[in-house]
Amino acid sequence: MSSNEINVIGSGLAGSEAAWQIAERGKKVNLYDMKPRKFSPAHKSENLCELVCSNSFKAERVDSAAGLLKEELRKMNSLVVKCADKCKVPAGGALAVDREKFSCMVTEKIKNHKNIKFISEEISKLPKGITVIATGPLTSDALSEEIGKICGERLSFFDAAAPIVLSESIDMEHAFFASRYGKGDGKDYLNCPLTEEEYTEFYKSLTHAERAPLHDVDLFNPKVYEGCMPVEVMAQRGFDTLRYGPMKPVGLRDSKAPEKKLFAVVQLRKENIEGTMYNMVGFQTNLKFSEQRRVFGIIPALRNADFIRYGVMHRNTFINSPKLLNADYSMRENTNIFFAGQITGVEGYMESVSSGLIAGINAVLRCMEKDGWIFPKFTMIGALANHVANSESEDFQPMGANFGILPPLEELIKDKKMRYNGFAKRSLMYFEDKFSK
């Protein structure tokens, strides 16, 4: 392999971003992925950057942690964010995408780049040279074994995806369009209300429904990441848990009965621009498919729903990054090997993109025998990298973007909204000063 070539293993969000950043800096990339020759249990599409769980990249506003991270990535010319912006579907204050168009656009950009060679091959042994491992939380068994050899310790938890229903099968007499607190154009979400009696029936059925078996050693003691908690597990915490979580009715008013106080609401969000499919927001699940149809059919608007994809649950794997990685996502004991994506312990789509961006940039610097580039801790990109590399927690767990991982502002600001604006301003000033000249 030429000294100007860099390997990237995995063509998901992190791998695609890493490959793009490397290629745009003039280096050749060998991008490996076992698709379409072989698929993981959760993947179906031959395209790159397939979104397995939600189609939402979370909040857009820069005074939110998720929004600030996306804006930082825009400043860094992120391919993934650029494609997401061009494929968005209405989602209130969030950035959600038509997942098929998004995946197709990233695939077209990557495979047509003159510096990227896509290789459909399952990797079981790491190739020689500088390599970015971005195989995600569903790394194949063969490569997991190889990673285990170089890392010594692997951790795992379970992740879940929500069902998708055909829009024409939704009973619109029992549903209404509205975004919480009137955000967006008023039709970003389709809301399915339940009365107290209906919710009680739903809750009892959900908590007693039969789950699908998990064929894994952690079957009886799975670590479930809070952000992807199966709805049936969440419900077992108490009768009102869902009503304060994914089924909360606050900020919503039924246009058909504006005077009526809502007890509980299931929100559906568009899966594609045409609006022919909707996913059940926050309804990740591991129920058996027959149970999903029965239990979710208790929701009045979904009594005759056609489920075009049922919810699924699968094992995620991530390494003990604080013991293994630097803040540029390179290994401490072998700086020619980088990790990126959820396998590092960042949680979330854009968080994975940010790790791929950093790993890609620093792989190029390593190739040029230059010092690595560490983003400041007061940026969301840098704070996530710092968490991955320097977390002092004895029980290292995945972390998504949040303002709690940023260092405090010099000036104490009690008002939360003003404080979050201060975090965003401080970070974006860095990107303006560093990259606008």
Going from N- to C-terminal start, the domains of the chain cover: 5-159+315-435, 164-311
**Residue range 5-159+315-435, CATH number:** 3.50.50.60
**Separation CA 28–CA 141 (nearest Å):** 28
pLDDT at 394 over 50: yes
Residue range 402-430, pLDDT digits in tens: 998 999 998 888 898 999 999 999 999 99
Rounded to the nearest angstrom, the gap between the alpha carbon of residue 328 and the centroid of all alpha carbons in its chain is 20
**Separation CA 148–CA 155 (nearest Å):** 10
pLDDT at 381 over 70: yes
Instruction: Supply 432's token pair.
Output: 């303006």
Residue 291 pLDDT class (50, 70, 90 cuts): very high
Cα dihedral sign, 113-117-121-127: negative
Cβ atoms of 41 and 129 within 8 Å: the answer is: no
Whose tokens are 């996530």? That residue is: 384
DSSP, collapsed to helix, strand or coil, labels residue 135 as coil
pLDDT at 352 over 70: yes
Say which amino acid occupies 389: A
- DSSP code, position 165: E
Say what the pLDDT of residue 223 is. 58
- Helix (H), strand (E), coil (C) string for 246-278: CCCCCCCCCCCCCCCCCCEEEEEEECCCCCCEE
Q: How many CA atoms lie within 13 A of 25 on its CB side?
A: 24
Residue range 206-223, pLDDT digits in tens: 999 999 876 544 433 455
Cβ atoms of 362 and 335 within 8 Å: the answer is: no
Helix (H) or strand (E) holding 107: helix 99-111
DSSP, collapsed to helix, strand or coil, labels residue 330 as strand
Q: Which of 259, 281, 304, 300 is nearest to 56 (CA)?
A: 281
Residue range 60-71, pLDDT digits in tens: 999 999 999 999
Cβ atoms of 148 and 154 within 8 Å: the answer is: yes
Whose tokens are 């915490």? That residue is: 237
- DSSP code, position 211: B
Say which amino acid occupies 175: A
Say what the pLDDT of residue 214 is. 65
Bond from prior residue into 36 cis (ω within 30 degrees of 0): yes
- Is 2.40.30 the CATH classification of the domain at 164-311? yes
Query: Would the pTM count as exceeding 0.85?
Result: no
Cβ atoms of 64 and 420 within 8 Å: the answer is: yes
